[in-house]
Amino acid sequence: MREAEFRAGLERRPGPGVPLTKETPSLTRESVETVMREFDQSSDAFMRQHGFAANFDYVVFRPGEQQRYPAKAVFLVAYSSIPGNPNLTVRDQRDTFRDTKGGAIHTEFRRLGYEVENRRFGSKEVLAERIRQHLIAHYIAPARQRGDHLVTIRAGDVHKELDLTNQMPNVCQTIAGKKFRNAANLGEPEILSGPVRERGGNMVYRFILLPSQEQGVSPGDEQILARFDGNPEFRARRPDWTREQRAAFCRMAQAVHAVGLDWYQTDIPQTRFGRKSSQLRQAEGTLGALLCRMTEPFLQFTHQSNSLGLAGDYPLDENGAERFERIIADAEPVIRSWQENRPERQGKWPDEYSQPNQASSGSTDMSMPTNLILYGPPGTGKTYNTALEAVKLCDGTASDPETKEGRSALMARYNELVADKRIAFVTFHQNYGYEDFVEGLRPVPIGNNDGESVGFHLQPEPGIFRLIAERAETGSLVVGSEPLNVVDRAVYKMSLGEVADSADDFVFTESIKNNYCLFGFRDIDWTNPRFSDREEIFSEVKKQFPDEDVTPNKGIVQSPDVFRNQLQIGDILIISKGNYRFRAIGIVEGEYEYAPRPDGRYCHRRKVRWLWHNKDGLEVSELYPPKFIQKTLYRLKGAELNRALIARLISESGGQGTEGDPLPHVLIIDEINRANVSKVFGELITLLEPDKRAGMENALSVSLPYSKRQFSVPANLHIIGTMNTADRSIALLDTALRRRFNFREMAPEPSLLAAASKLTGINLAHVLATINDRIEYLLDREHRIGHAFFIGCETAEQVHDTMRDKVIPLLQEYFFEDWSRIQAVLGDGFIGSRILKCPVGEGEDKPSWFVQSEFSLDAYTRKLGLTSTDLLQEAEA
């Protein structure tokens, strides 16, 4: 029911299915109060049950009371609950029933004596204007007065400067909003930190500040060229260009910019154009690049996209510029819908991004691998800080999360990188070894020709270190506009026809030409869903060929099952040429299809994107040392594959794929000191040194003992470890590891407990400092306890629980159940004692220690407020 219908219904007499008249109210106070009581019991449950969103504009309330209720939700549920009224909570009715000032909803509530107010927009707009004025006065105006080209704004700083509470989403929305950009004469911001749709204190925005007279004016050729000078090759080559070449390039650059595409630079280094978000290291979509060859420079569509159909080389001359402008202009409608461009924005120039580190510029944090260990006592945030360091290494930047929103945003980005398999996490323990970390032998069943198991053999399997090293080595591969992860895909060997039979040549050529793979094994249509069960395939084969000796493990059953059911979209196919060569690499992109032929042969196929093919083929020994076997289709052993060769062949395949920016990968090793490091790393300990990494000046590789393959540690793999000093001192750590890692101490920080102290009413900063002073006096500084034990406490009861369940058991471990020393640390407010008399009456009486049943606030002040000079006396007593 719409609002107009409701108003009209008020004027009509009562009748079935229509609202009651004004004389008999359509909404009653009783029905409203019933709904409000339901909302009071659980607001979240109420909104979920009735299907309403949590963000509502107007609230209804009883005069003089603080409790607010969602006006539209309460009205619709209350009205619909009255017998004879239509159900307005049905989505197609409620979504068209407006909740507007002066509308039917507000009129009815006020008639019953309730008040209605705008909860969101009035005060929100006032706050937004305050934020805008602060940004202009304290960020934009000073930057322009200094003549700065860029200005960076961190949302958390603005929130703190304005002394706001829980307004981080409004701060972020205002900074990125059109009103602020229009008021300050700015373009779209670049997001340096934080996911684009998140709203947290670690969000960092950067705006480009062109001089006021250039706002909205197309810059001259020299200004355009200067925007590309971040690429050292471009900067070195362009002085040698002729005037015609410079003018032609600027025309091409503006043509790209005019259709909303971005210009950006890579670590290769190379200048490219396509679609690139500011917060992502790798572009979502690349179309082409500027190639500065010695003969003449030109633009090329290096990453050909089937949806755009753009291709060709365009030299930097007048004719090339005209052709390029024309093809870009013709493709503009398709380009603008090619990759997501939200929020809608203009194309970016290279200098609007943070510049990548160049290998030639010397050692930097991003160009040189990081080997870092965070060490300290328990509870100092070592494991949590690994997330911050890992995100910094992967994204180039990450803010220290000072707020709950900031921590949530950090962990959201961390989890994204884990899901992308660019961050891996492992915890060392006493039994962890080389076979778990690098590679080891695992038993694998041996099958006969009928697929039956006849025993086992040992097969090398990669550990987490080898896996992430291979991901880092191959992770820069791009196909079309998408990154291609080679390491984590299943790889199958497949034959396309009999190589020795020339009559089968069509199987390979037709498959490559039409982007699918053809498969034989009888003319039976396997499309019926029941054939997802191998037993059903067996039954069908047996039914159609009753005279053949068919078993479930025979190739006639097994191979169709693999082709139809086991081969998944995204898996890689290696096409063999006999058992000793391979001639094509592709990715499966479609489900099983049945395509009958007149001769009944090769009636099965699946769509494949072929990434590399060579009719003559290459030797299989480097790709897969065990060689191929005669089976038509089977999965290759991942531990034996040279995936780096697969990536290299694809990247060299004439536009099928390219090597993009080398993406940083991070391995986090928690509790690194709990394992025998020499045993875990083995011969690879030397390969961890920065200058021994692959691609570095003194690069080394080793032959792994089980797989016999050559292995090196890539330079874009960073390693972060944590070390609990209460378990083992740095002085006892393996000296080979100590030489190859940087160490950063994570010490207890009582000052971080200020907020928890305020919430709990207990001076936790003083409590922690006092406990740690006494532990250090009686034991050593490496056994102190960290601030993380208390940082989440919001009530005194939570502090009591922490002391009882975490701190006291830890001290028991530290002091080997010497309760007199535990009592010396905590005082008798926590640890009590009574005297045990000698049973025979002749021996010495002894104390019996116990944890107090209740902790009073006095235990945290007077009892724990002793000075260190009292410590020995108390311990002796």
pLDDT in tens, 567-609: 998 899 999 988 888 899 999 999 999 988 888 889 999 999 9
385 has pLDDT over 80: yes
> Is residue 731 assigned to a domain?
no
516 has pLDDT over 90: yes
- Average pLDDT for 872-877: 42
The predicted model scores a pTM of: 0.52
pLDDT at 869: 43
Tracing tokens 């693999």 back to the chain, one arrives at: 562
CA torsion sign for 341, 358, 289, 644 is negative
- At residue 475, φ and ψ (nearest 5 deg) are -75, -5
Q: What is the CATH number of the domain that holds 511?
A: 3.10.590.10
421 has pLDDT over 90: no
The more confident residue out of 102 and 116 is 116
Residue from 669, 793, 807, 792 nearest 726 by CA: 807
pLDDT at 210: 56
Is there a single domain that holds both residue 201 and residue 227?
no
pLDDT band at 544 (very low <50, low <70, confident <90, very high): confident
223 has pLDDT over 50: yes
Residue from 225, 150, 230, 138 nearest 189 by CA: 150
> Is residue 375 assigned to a domain?
no
> Is residue 438 assigned to a domain?
no
Helical H segments across 115-163, by residue range? 121-135, 141-146, 155-161
DSSP state of 361: G
Domain count, the chain: 5
> Is residue 187 assigned to a domain?
yes
**What percent of the chain has a predicted confidence (pLDDT) above 90?**
15
- Average pLDDT for 405-431: 86
Q: How far apart, in whole angstroms, are the C-alpha atoms of residue 633 and residue 555? A: 10
Is there a single domain that holds both residue 241 and residue 166?
no
The more confident residue out of 519 and 727 is 519
pLDDT at 17: 33
360 has pLDDT over 90: no
Is there a single domain that holds both residue 568 and residue 623?
yes
> Is residue 41 assigned to a domain?
yes
124 has pLDDT over 90: no
- Average pLDDT for 260-279: 78
The more confident residue out of 482 and 508 is 508
Last residue of some domain: 617, 636, 656? 656
Is there a single domain that holds both residue 507 and residue 649?
yes
Is there a single domain that holds both residue 198 and residue 100?
no
Last residue of some domain: 305, 326, 356? 356
> Is residue 114 assigned to a domain?
yes
Is there a single domain that holds both residue 553 and residue 508?
yes
Is there a single domain that holds both residue 179 and residue 278?
no
Q: Contact, 311 vs 303, CB < 8 A?
A: no
Is there a single domain that holds both residue 112 and residue 207?
no
Is there a single domain that holds both residue 112 and residue 147?
no
pLDDT at 215: 37
> Is residue 684 assigned to a domain?
no
The mean-pLDDT minimum among 107-111, 114-118, 306-310, 805-809 falls in 306-310
> Is residue 704 assigned to a domain?
no
The mean-pLDDT minimum among 83-92, 129-138, 236-245, 603-612 falls in 83-92
**Chain mean pLDDT for the chain:** 79
Residue from 395, 392, 200 nearest 280 by CA: 395
pLDDT in tens, 823-852: 889 888 888 888 888 887 777 888 888 888
Is there a single domain that holds both residue 502 and residue 628?
yes
pLDDT at 804: 92
Q: How far apart, in whole angstroms, are the C-alpha atoms of residue 443 and residue 435? A: 13
Beta strands in 671-792 (DSSP E): 702-703, 710-711, 717-724, 742-745
Q: What is the CATH number of the domain that holds 130?
A: 3.30.1370
Task: Write out the residue range of the structural domain in which residue 136 sits.
Answer: 123-214
Last residue of some domain: 103, 119, 135? 119
pLDDT at 15: 35
Is there a single domain that holds both residue 159 and residue 274?
no
The more confident residue out of 354 and 306 is 306
Q: How far apart, in whole angstroms, are the C-alpha atoms of residue 519 and residue 514? A: 14
pLDDT at 698: 79
pLDDT at 253: 92
Beta strands in 448-504 (DSSP E): 453-462, 477-479, 482-483, 491-495
20 has pLDDT over 60: no
- Average pLDDT for 61-71: 82
pLDDT at 356: 41
pLDDT at 234: 81
- Average pLDDT for 521-538: 89
Q: How far apart, in whole angstroms, are the C-alpha atoms of residue 512 and residue 613? A: 8
Is there a single domain that holds both residue 790 and residue 647?
no
805 has pLDDT over 90: yes
pLDDT at 399: 65
- Average pLDDT for 473-486: 67
